[in-house]
Each structure stands twice: as structure tokens, then as C-alpha cells.
Amino acid sequence: MKITLEEKLVIFVILFCLVGIFAVQIFFGAQISNVKMNIEKIDYKIENQDKKNESLTMQVNELTSYENVSKVIEKMGLSYNNKNIIVINK
């Protein structure tokens, strides 16, 4: 049985398409893996920044506590007077 030129061409095109599909699949699989790795790195940075922000918020709350403010006031020679405090609500 002899294979004609047209049959050889069809077989070649089919094989070429299959190889092309596998190559594209491998390429995009690598790209997706790279994107996932970048997402993980960014998530790690976000978690670290959230921890830093939480720590700084705790420090601010500690520094603005009534006890700390009253110590600073006493060091400066001032006194605490409730009558002079005005609360403004938005």
C-alpha cells in the first residue's frame, strides 16, 4: 500500500498541530506558574506589612493612652482641666 502525497501532507499537518498544541500548553503552563509564584510573593509582602501596621497601631494606642499623656503633661508642668476640653462630632 502506497501513501500518496496528499495523505503524507495531512499526516504532517496533524503531527505539526499536535506538537504545536503541546508546546503552547507547556509555555502557558510555565507562565501560569510564574504568575502564581508572583502572587504568593505579593501575598507574603502584604501579610508582613499588615503585621507591621498592626504593631504600629498598638504603639500609637499605647503612646496616646491617658496615662502616657498625663505623664507628658506633668513633665511639661501643665495640668489636666476637663473644663477646657471640647468634643467635636462630625
- For residue 1, what are the CA distances in angstroms to 4, 5, 11, 15, 29? 10, 13, 16, 21, 41
Contacts of 70 (CB under 8 A, 6+ apart): 80
Q: Total structural domains in the chain?
A: 1
Residue predicted with more confidence, 89 or 40: 40
Residue 85 lies in a domain: no
Residue 82 lies in a domain: no
Residue 88 lies in a domain: no
Range of the domain at 44: 5-75
Residue 87 lies in a domain: no
Average pLDDT estimate for 15-38: 96
Residue 86 lies in a domain: no
Residue 81 lies in a domain: no
pLDDT band at 22 (very low <50, low <70, confident <90, very high): very high
pTM reported for the whole predicted model: 0.58
Residue 14 lies in a domain: yes
* Pair 34, 41: CB distance under 8 Å: no
Res 85: pLDDT: 74
27/35 Cα distance (integer angstroms): 13
Residue 48 lies in a domain: yes
Res 55: pLDDT: 96
